[in-house]
Amino acid sequence: MSEPRKLYVRSFGCQMNVYDAQRMTDTLAREGFVEAETAEDADLVILNTCHIREKAAEKVYSELGRLRVAQEEAGRRQMIAVAGCVAQAEGGEILKRARGVDLVVGPQSYHKLPELIADAERRGGNRRAGIVETEFPVEDKFDFLAPPTRAAIAKRGPTAFVTVQEGCDKFCTFCVVPYTRGTEVSRPVAKILDEVMRLADGGVREVTLIGQNVNAYHGADAGGRPSGLAELVRRVAEVPGIARVRYTTSHPRDMDDDLIAAHRDLPALMPYLHLPVQSGSNRILAAMNRKHDRELFFETVEKVRAARPDIAFSSDFIVGFPGETDEDFADTMDLVEKVGFAGAFSFKYSSRPGTPAATMDAQLSEDVKSQRIYALQALLDRQKAAFDAACHGRRFEILLEKPGRFPGQLIGRSPYLQSVVVEAPREAIGTLAMVEVRGVSTKSLSGDIIGGEFYADGAVGHTHFPGQSETVEA
Ligand code: SAH
Ligand code: SF4
Ligand code: F3S
């Protein structure tokens, strides 16, 4: 028998790409591909790219250069495919700019990978004739992508992403996603539940429902009627074995009352909500075409907090959007002060080809953007540190996910996605444990297990181990 072919997928960008990488791997496993440990070791390398900011998009070219040098040094020929959002946005450009690419495939065409690879193989070394597949096909790729095997699920651990919605119709003026992922499409409820049941059967305990605009979800239910995200979350939480549900990324405009009620009614829905706001200035929010003002954001936060008092928020921010004045930026700082975030991602505005904001007047200098991002990140870091410090002494449930750095340690996740280091045996991976938080550092918490699924008889471990720093009071 010949050696199985080896595949390596390197993903950049958001969770959608992480999920897609798994689906591509599962689909190619059916074609006899096994996973390689490193890119160098693979027969087929897929770069699963991100186009959201210029820096992210440029990465693909440096990666391609690196791969080419490695191939030349090793004197071997690998097949190179570029997938993801840069593939969709720049298609043929990639073949022109970078030698050595056999295949460019957009996110809506991953189910065609087996035939595209066979086609590229037939073309052999003739790389000039690289294949580009970036049409938005009529069929639904999810109907053709292979599900993971039980072994693949087990290997990926007790948490999983499930794409429930893809694409975006919001057209924020800075954003490429509506162009790279296409219009909003929601998967039917039954297909998502099938996938979640399969994951649960393989040992998954926590599912994160993902979509570029996940709370705009409106997939068909059994009767063909549209179901909202709240209803979907309820159904997913009922799947035996599933203990925790999250969803991301939400748009403030789509936080409807039903979804807010789900935060009140469903203990399995984790009290941590990523709700990107981008800016605190109404003038900039309008120029961004976010379709809401700061007042709506405050109201939404208040409503969700009333429904679930222990909830914490994270968000995304852009500084230096065209025309942003000192006053607009002060409004963003003010919004952050007023809401208080447990985590956040913040970015300097990056001009993206083809988006309306790219041609707006008053593009700001790198200097101004740098000053503002520095100030904003300092504030967000202080808020995160304060949130973490306030967890000291708290008791909450963590899901034990993987071994820690030192023997005898496991790492779990708190309801707020903080990493929590505890002392526990490997067999406890995949179980929920109640911990009391004993240590807080910038990267993680540590704690003592005081009970949980693995410790039903009350025999719990005590924690004091090397490498874990003492509490930092913020
Ligand atoms: N659908 C989500 C976010 C998708 S992109 C939403 O509506 O919020 C993830 C984040 O990247 C965005 O929230 C935004 O903060 C950032 N981002 C998107 N385009 C950007 C650009 N051109 N420059 C800088 N940051 C950008
Ligand atoms: Fe981009 Fe706006 Fe759509 Fe989010 S809502 S993906 S930021 S266009
Ligand atoms: Fe990037 Fe595409 Fe996700 S542009 S952020 S990989 S949807």
Q: Tokens 């039917």 identify what position?
A: 188
Strands 343-348 and 312-319: parallel
Structural domains in the chain, CATH included, are 5-133 (3.40.50.12160), 141-390 (3.80.30.20), 395-464 (2.40.50.140)
3-class SS of residue 343: strand
Strands 103-105 and 445-452: unpaired
Asked if residue 391 belongs to a known ligand binding site, the reply is no
Residue minimizing CA distance to atom 7 of ligand 3? 177
Distance CA 326, CA 29 (A): 53
| Length of the chain in terms of residues written | 474
Query: Which pLDDT value is given to residue 463?
Result: 40
Helix (H) or strand (E) holding 38: none
CA angle, 261 as apex, 290 and 335 as ends, to 5°?
40
Atom of ligand 3 nearest to the CA of 181: 7
Phi, then psi, of 195 in degrees rounded to 5: -65, -40
Ligand nearest to the CA of 290: 2
Query: Which pLDDT value is given to residue 98?
Result: 83
Sign of CA dihedral 446, 448, 451, 453: positive
Query: Which pLDDT value is given to residue 1?
Result: 56
Mutate to test the pocket of ligand 2, among 14, 212, 297 (most ligand atoms within 8 A of CB): 212
pLDDT in tens, the chain (474 residues): 578 899 999 999 999 999 999 999 999 999 999 999 999 999 999 999 999 999 999 999 999 999 999 998 988 889 999 999 999 999 888 988 888 899 999 999 999 999 999 999 888 755 556 788 888 887 889 989 999 999 999 999 999 999 999 999 999 999 999 999 999 999 999 999 999 999 999 999 999 999 999 999 999 999 999 999 999 999 999 999 999 999 999 999 999 999 999 999 999 999 999 999 999 999 999 999 999 999 999 999 999 999 999 999 999 999 999 999 999 999 999 999 999 999 999 999 999 999 999 999 999 999 999 999 999 999 999 999 999 999 999 999 999 999 999 999 999 999 999 999 999 999 999 999 999 999 999 999 999 999 999 987 544 544 433 333 333 333
DSSP per residue over 105-173, as a string? E-GGGGGGHHHHHHHHHHHTT-GGG-EEE----SS-GGGTSPPPPHHHHHHH-SEEEEE-EE--S---T
Residue minimizing CA distance to atom 12 of ligand 1? 316
Phi, then psi, of 241 in degrees rounded to 5: 100, -30
> What are the start-end ranges of the H helices in 225-267?
229-237, 257-265
Query: Which pLDDT value is given to residue 306?
Result: 98
Atom of ligand 1 nearest to the CA of 14: 9
The token pair at 321 is: 């959007």
Atom of ligand 3 nearest to the CA of 89: 4
- SS3 for 66-90 is HHHHHHHHHCCCCEEEEEHHHHHHH
Distance CA 364, CA 357 (A): 12
Q: Measuring CA to CA, which residue among 263, 276, 271, 198 is closest to residue 234? A: 263
3-class SS of residue 182: coil
30 CA distance to ligand 1 middle (Å): 35
Query: Which pLDDT value is given to residue 136?
Result: 84
Distance CA 112, CA 92 (A): 18
Ligand 3 proximal residues by C-beta, below 6 Å? 13-14, 16-17, 50-52, 84-85, 176-177, 180-181, 212
Query: Which pLDDT value is given to residue 471?
Result: 34
Q: Please count the other Cβ atoms lying within 10 Å of the Cβ belonging to residue 464.
A: 10
The token pair at 384 is: 């995160």
Question: Can you point out the beta strands (E) in 269-362?
Answer: 272-274, 312-319, 343-348
Distance CA 430, CA 67 (A): 36
Q: Measuring CA to CA, which residue among 348, 352, 319, 358 is closest to residue 335? A: 319
Q: Is residue 289 exposed (0-12), middle (13-18) or buried (19+ Cβ within 10 Å)?
A: middle
Query: Is the distance from CB of 382 to CB of 329 less than 8 angstroms?
Result: no
